[in-house]
Structure 1
Amino acid sequence: MRFQPLRYSLLAASGLALLTACPSEKPAETTAASQPAATKAPKVPAFNADSAYAYTAKQVAFGPRVPNKPAHTACGNYLVAKLKSFGLTVHEQPFQAMTFDGVQISGRNIIAQYQPAAARRVALFAHWDTRPFADADKQHKNAPMDGASDGASAVATALEIARVLSLQPASLAPNVGVDIILVDAEDWGHDDTTQADVKNQLAGSGTDSWCLGSQYWAKHLLPAGYKAEYGILFDMVGAKGGRFTREGASLKNARSVVDKIWNTAAKIGYSDYFLFSDTGEILDDHVYTSQAGIPTVDIYDHPPYGGDYFPAYHHTTADNMSIIDRKTMKAVGQTVLQVLYDE
């Protein structure tokens, strides 16, 4: 992903109104048909941060998940098998793409559907590849990187939500179908700051060097004709001290969904993580999924202070398991589960 130099200053959303149903005080012997009791919403299941942490570690253990590498293939096979083990309907979408530095890669988007027959749907996005080089690392520039938060934690959060949902009986399921869409080749892009001396061979081609998998998926929707009411993109959601601001493109394309997520986080006690602070646009997968007709919000780790748009570990070898924090993953996963169950 990369920073887009555009800022927004928007008013905070108003509080949510709660409607309360009151039981009738009429005696039971009335001849009129009795009114059915208000249906109580199912209790929101718990997001297990230990499980999400384990899913993060499992991906990192494969090694850097760089397209065309054995670790990438092995991790992709693991993700497909894991999603199938939850009883989800799984689709694979292989594609070919050229990177900015002239490498022809084989990518694979992975789509898993929970309650595939449900008419109302919400999409949860994450990228499962890792950047091939730690170009922002001052000491180990261009070394391989683990991508523990940038990639693995996002996928792990989606996996844990899928696992939790798969355990619910029909009577305790949310009122929406949920699609886990893991896109590939998001992070093999040209960084104008750290790679100024490297030519971007995709410049002027009509294809952005970032988000190759989501660009492909947006043009070749799978399932065919796919529609969702909205999408939530996880990206860098596992680091210690993680903080999430209201990003510019998310506000522009999906303001009501931003409000829904941030208000929900505040309601259930995670306002220390989800900050009511508006920040500039970044180019990430949510730009292309929004263009495909699915207004999508990007939840990504944004430093709460200073002028940096990405945390210090971003695109460095410091992005390893030592920075992963169960509390951050819990805040994100539990908030999104609550959002799904509030539908």
Structure 2
Amino acid sequence: MTNCIGLAGLVLILLLSGCQNQASEKAARAPTEEPRPTSPAFNADSAYAFTAKQVAFGPRVPNSKAHVATGNWLVAKFKSYGLKVMEQPFEAMTFDGTYIKARNIIVQYQPQAARRVAIFGHWDTRPFADNDKEKKNAPMDGASDGASAVAVALEMARVLSQQPDSLSPNVGVDFILFDAEDWGHDTATQADLKNQLEGSGTDSWCLGSQYWAKNLLPKNYKAEYGVLLDMVGAKGAVFTREGVSRARAGFVLDKIWAAAHRLGYSDFFRYDTTTAITDDHVYTNQAGVPTVDVYHHDFSGAVFPAYHHATADNLGLIDRKSLHAVGQTMLHTLYAE
């Protein structure tokens, strides 16, 4: 069989061919533009290394050499990223009458930006593993409870510091790390001990955030909202919509949870509503920064996971997947502003 093409068909083919060639030439001449990323990549290996580094110093208990060394390292590390770093030293008495020297560490990315978001955490460790079944007076590593949140903040700071102006978020970011958060009186495990701060107007927990809330640094500090990270690095970590967070900063929960679900982290960020807890976000909310608490919730009825305030809170339970889910979600949230 022969296939015959008429004159009109031949003209049509030539015209189409010419149009396609012109389109190809225009495409070749057109400048290529890289699309702006939704958010830069969070490196979980780097965050894990930052966690391990803190644990390697030893328990970061106020008044200890490990505590001083860790604080000095944190200050130097943030400064190495070219960020503005401020220290806020203070003294306090703990529930058992111990006088401690402590310091909050405040780090600013894009300090000139009018719109600001705060990332809070605590960098100290509890001086005793009172929730441990066997070693209630032993010091603890605080790998998840403390170090993991600081590691996420460090990696966020590192990543942000590497972004050119054209790829920076539309907000400034303040990394505010509180000290002396964890030397509080636990009525469940320390009923035999007297809380010497009872009735003083000072909560035995969260001494650093209480001090900061009364002595804002920077002075007259304001932020559109804050996110408190606490216990964010353990394997199987689950984060819920906690009571104080819902009451004081529900719109922040919506931002973060929507970002997490867009990224595929719904297994970590659950829409379950859970009871209010006392944490640093209580005092940052009182200071006028609407703040949510992202912490590892336990569904067994204990609220906190079994490793909480126990020697099991060591580097062995840290999971890069949990670190990545939290860090990438926080960066995504910032870049959505």
Query: Match of 1:182, SS?
Result: strand
Shift of 1:263: 1.1
The separation in 1 between residues aligned to 2:290 and 2:92, in whole angstroms, is 25
Deviation at 1:306, TM superposition (A): 2.2
Equivalent in the alignment of 2:204: 209
Paired residues for 1:98-247 under 5 Å: 98-247=93-242
> Which gives a bigger RCO, structure 1 or 2 (Cα 8 Å, sep 6+)?
1
Aligned to 2:6: none
TM-score normalised by structure 1 residue count: 0.88
Q: Which residue of 2 aligns with 1:90?
A: 85
Q: Would you say 1:325 and 2:319 are equivalent positions?
A: yes
Residues of 2 paired with 1:141 and 1:331: CA distance?
Answer: 32
Q: Give CA-to-partner distance per residue, 1:119-168, whole Å, 9 cap, x none.
A: 00000000000000000001111101000000000000000000000000
SS in 2 for 1:102: coil
Look up the equivalent residue of 1:337 and give its one-letter code.
L
Match of 1:311 among 301, 305, 315: 305
- Give the letter aligned to residue 134 of structure 2: Q
Q: CA deviation at 1:308?
A: 1.5
Give unpaired runs (5+ residues) of structure 1: 1-39
Partner SS state of residue 54, structure 2:
helix
The one-letter code of the counterpart of 2:256 is I
Query: Match for residue 265 of structure 1?
Result: 260
Structure 1 residue 42, shift from structure 2 partner: 4.3
Find the counterpart in structure 2 of residue 11 from structure 1.
Answer: none
Q: Which residue of 1 aligns with 2:53?
A: 58
2:38–2:332 contact (8 Å) kept in structure 1: no
- Check the 8 A contact 1:42/1:173 in 2, yes or no: no
Structure 1 Cα separation of the partners of residues 195 and 266 of structure 2? 40
1:336 and 2:330 correspond: yes
What is the distance in 1 between the residues matched to 2:245 and 2:271? Answer: 13
* Aligned residue pair count: 304
TM-score, length-scaled by structure 2: 0.89
Extract unaligned runs of 5+ from structure 2: 1-34
Distance, in Å, in 1 between the alignment partners of 2:84 and 2:171 is: 15
Deviations 1:159-216 (A, max 9, x none): 0000000000000000000000000000000000000000000000000000000000
Q: Return the alpha-carbon distance in structure 1 between the equivalents of residues 77 and 163 of structure 2.
A: 17
Output the CA distance in 1 between the equivalents of 2:190 and 2:290.
Answer: 31
CA contact under 8 A between 1:108 and 1:184: conserved in structure 2?
Answer: yes
In 1, the alpha carbon distance for the partners of 2:262 and 2:38 equals: 15
Return the letter of the residue paired with 2:226: G
In the alignment, the residues of structure 2 paired with residue 306 and residue 253 of structure 1 have an alpha-carbon distance, to the nearest angstrom, of 26
Q: Kindly provide the amino acid, as one letter, of the partner of residue 117 in structure 1.
A: Q
Considering fraction of residues, name the structure with more helix.
2
The amino acid that maps onto 2:207 is L
State the AA in 1 paired with 2:60: R
Let me know the Cα RMSD of the aligned residues: 1.0
Identity, % of aligned positions: 72
Q: What is the letter of the counterpart of residue 267 of structure 2?
A: D
Match of 1:251 among 246, 253, 257: 246
